[in-house]
Amino acid sequence: MMAGIFFSCVNDLDSIKKISASANDPDERTRELRVLYSDSGKVQVEVYARLAETYSHPKPIVKLKDSIEVRFYNPNGNLVSVLTALYGEIDQQNGQMFVRDSVHLYNPIKKQRLETEELKWNQKDSTIFTNKDVAVRTEDAIFYGKGLKTRQDFSHYEFLKPLGKLKLK
């Protein structure tokens, strides 16, 4: 009986390595994350990510991976725009989200789509901006530029450096 007790307390080193965490590992890992931001009980923004990793060092940040969708609503609760990307980071201290890789911002009311490789969303003033090449597609035309500023509802936008030619009727 003593031999059984003595040998039953052996730790398997491979099992310990699987459980141990490194300094670069996230504090939390969440699959199928869905976060709602509301004001007075009305949803203003809905964030979805297939995988979210939260880090506290060197600064608090949430990394969103494997597909991101951010839905923006007006005060009446109607969907006004949808932002999608493959990767993103939320800087909670500054109230900003950075997204990159196959970035699209779509306004279903105006049926217009912004396409770029990266942009930032400032939660505090509801602005979206990028300094990268952009294309805005509407039902009638495609507009190109380098850099763009817009509100999160994507109702009005401003190119920082418009590019190309436009034929007007």
Identify the pLDDT of residue 26. Answer: 85
pLDDT confidence bin for 1, thresholds 50/70/90: low
- 3 state SS of 69: strand
pLDDT confidence bin for 81, thresholds 50/70/90: very high
Task: Locate 25 and state its tokens.
Answer: 């590992």
Report pTM.
Answer: 0.82
**Nearest of 46, 50, 27 to residue 37 by alpha carbon:** 46
Segment 96-141, tens digit of pLDDT? 999 999 999 999 999 999 999 999 999 999 999 999 999 999 988 8
Alpha-carbon span 104 to 40, nearest angstrom: 29
Segment 129-145, tens digit of pLDDT? 999 999 999 988 899 99
The full set of domain ranges for the chain reads 25-163
Alpha-carbon span 3 to 52, nearest angstrom: 47
- List of E strands, the chain: 28-39, 42-55, 61-73, 79-91, 96-107, 112-122, 127-137, 142-151, 157-163
Per CATH, the homologous superfamily of domain 25-163 is Lipopolysaccharide (LPS) transport protein A like domain (2.60.450.10)
- Count of alpha carbons within 13 Å of 162, Cβ hemisphere only? 9
Alpha-carbon span 109 to 111, nearest angstrom: 6
Task: Locate 148 and state its tokens.
Answer: 């763009």
pLDDT confidence bin for 6, thresholds 50/70/90: low
Identify the pLDDT of residue 24. Answer: 77
Alpha-carbon span 120 to 102, nearest angstrom: 14
Segment 21-39, tens digit of pLDDT? 666 788 899 999 999 988 8
- Count of alpha carbons within 13 Å of 100, Cβ hemisphere only? 5
Contact between 80 and 74 (Cβ < 8 Å): yes
Whether the pLDDT of residue 58 is over 70: the answer is yes
Identify the pLDDT of residue 49. Answer: 97
- In this structure, of 13-27, 52-66, 73-87, 114-128, the range with the lowest mean pLDDT score is 13-27
Identify the pLDDT of residue 113. Answer: 97
